[in-house]
Structure 1
């Protein structure tokens, strides 16, 4: 299964929900959503700084990842960015794949 990093930032009203129900409740919501999308949540961590949550999910494909991100973003309480993660083996395979490329102006 593909792995995705979801980076979330709460609006103030979203953070009020975290304060009211706790961090474990939010992690369970995301775990349940990942399962509903056909995958699983590998990790869920709160953070200091500009971003509030870093979550890694294993999902069947980009459509499942997009569906999860769209559902969260549609709430209006959280802004999510999605990063596709590559394993070292994926990078090894990609580094051996022939690609025809010409740099700009060449």
Structure 2
């Protein structure tokens, strides 16, 4: 399954919800969303600084990740970034593929 790193920052409204529900309430909500689309939460951490929440999740396909991203962003409670994570084998395969690329001016 494709794996994604999700970095999120709460809006003031989202922080108020976190204060009401607590971290375990938010984890339960995340688990419901991810498992509802056939995925799995590998890890979830709360942080402070530029990001408030950091997750590593598995989804059956990138479209599922996109669906979650759209729903979460539309809620107004969080601002998120999702980064696809690749395995060592996937990078090795990519390195073996021939790419016909000419740099600008080259």
For structure 2, the residue ranges without an aligned partner over 5 or more in a row are: none
Aligned length: 106
TM-score, L = length of structure 1: 0.95
Look up the SS of the partner of 1:41 in the other structure. Answer: strand
Superposed displacement of residue 29, structure 1: 0.7
In structure 1, the residue matched to 2:67 is 67
- List structure 1 segments (4+ residues) > 4 angstroms apart after TM superposition: none
The CA distance in 2 between the partners of 1:78 and 1:8, in whole Å, is 6
Superposed displacement of residue 36, structure 1: 1.0
Aligned ranges 1:53-92 → 2 under 5 Å = 53-92=53-92
Pair 1:8 & 2:19 matched:
no
Superposed displacement of residue 44, structure 1: 0.7
Provide Cα deviations, 1:45-85, integer angstroms capped at 9, x if missing partner: 11110111111110011100000111111111111111111
For structure 1, the residue ranges without an aligned partner over 5 or more in a row are: none
Look up the SS of the partner of 1:74 in the other structure. Answer: helix
The CA distance in 2 between the partners of 1:33 and 1:99, in whole Å, is 38
In structure 1, the residue matched to 2:101 is 101
In structure 1, the residue matched to 2:44 is 44
Superposed displacement of residue 24, structure 1: 1.2
The CA distance in 2 between the partners of 1:48 and 1:89, in whole Å, is 33
Look up the SS of the partner of 1:98 in the other structure. Answer: coil
TM-score, L = length of structure 2: 0.95
Look up the SS of the partner of 2:48 in the other structure. Answer: coil
